[in-house]
Structure 1
Amino acid sequence: MTRTIARWILALALGAVGVLHFTQTRGFRVVVPDWATEATRMDKDAIVIASGAVEVALAAGLIALPRERRRIGWATAGFFAAVFPGNWHQWRTGRSTPGLDTDARRFGRLFLQPALIAWALWATR
């Protein structure tokens, strides 16, 4: 039961943040490193929208596809690992977003990413 609750909380958080990527695109652009636009051939807005869409899809999968929860858990963990360079970039450049407006908060955010990876794997095991 605890893992089920943790999975639902993770899904709701992912979905909410994913929706924010659509409504607050400009605020998330500062997290996208310049090299990511070259690597993906997408502009920063498109990367923000795409990552939001992935978050919403993962959230939906965590809730709607219980038989696939382990695979979706691994995909979610992979997504959290994939966006870590953006968190690192934000900390190194000192760029603020809502709630991450100090160097200490941006640095602390770096430690949240491994916790999210562990959470995704644990909640879907």
Structure 2
Amino acid sequence: MTPQKKRSVARTLGRVGLGLALVFAGVSHLTFARDDFKAQVPGFAKELAPQGEDQVVLASGVAEIALGLSFLVLPKQKEAVGNVAAVFFSAIFPGNVSQWVNRRSAFGLDTDGKRFARLFFQPGLVALALWSTRTPR
């Protein structure tokens, strides 16, 4: 296998893996992890949503499912999907900051150190969304 083909396979696996992870995360927003996700909703978002944090969690779950499915079923639009995902991951970053600043425990993030460390995963998701949807040179 050529180095270019290996990069292409790696990017495809990254894109499919990210798509599956987003679908799983979105379903968890709507079902078993709904309360944990409420811990990440920043105050300003609660105020913007008429039904508060629950509405934010549900809407972001639906968005994650749609985005995840887009990674899986729209390979010809993969670059656009990657761009949208990068913007989405950036847009939800304040929720992670809010969880850390307000010391809200959820998803096993029960110390300031764990919540702070979580902040560094978001740029990785942005990078993965962009990298996995680009054609290797």
Residue 10 of structure 1 aligns with which residue?
18
Larger displacement relative to structure 2 (4-13 or 39-48): 39-48
- Deviation string 1:42-80 (CA, Å, 9 cap, x unpaired) is 410010010011111011000100111111100001100
- 2:49–2:55 contact (8 Å) kept in structure 1: no
Structure holding more helix per residue? 1
Higher Cα Rg: structure 1 or 2? 2
Structure 1 residue ranges (4+ consecutive) displaced by more than 4 angstroms after TM superposition: none
The Cα shift of 1:39 comes to 3.0
Tell me which amino acid in the other structure corresponds to 1:90: Q
Residue 82 of structure 1 aligns with which residue?
91
Structure 1: where are the runs of 5+ without partners? none
Is 1:21 the equivalent of 2:29? Answer: yes
Distance 2:123 2:50 in 1: 28
- Deviation string 1:55-111 (CA, Å, 9 cap, x unpaired) is 110110001001111111000011000000000000001101022122111101100
* TM-score normalised per structure 1: 0.95
Is 1:64 the equivalent of 2:48? Answer: no
- C-alpha root-mean-square deviation of aligned residues, in Å? 1.0
* TM-score normalised per structure 2: 0.87
Paired residue for 1:101, among 85, 110, 132? 110
Counterpart secondary structure, 1:98: coil
Aligned residue pairs: how many?
125
- Percent identical: 46
Counterpart secondary structure, 1:81: helix
Distance 2:53 2:24 in 1: 20
Structure 2: where are the runs of 5+ without partners? 1-8
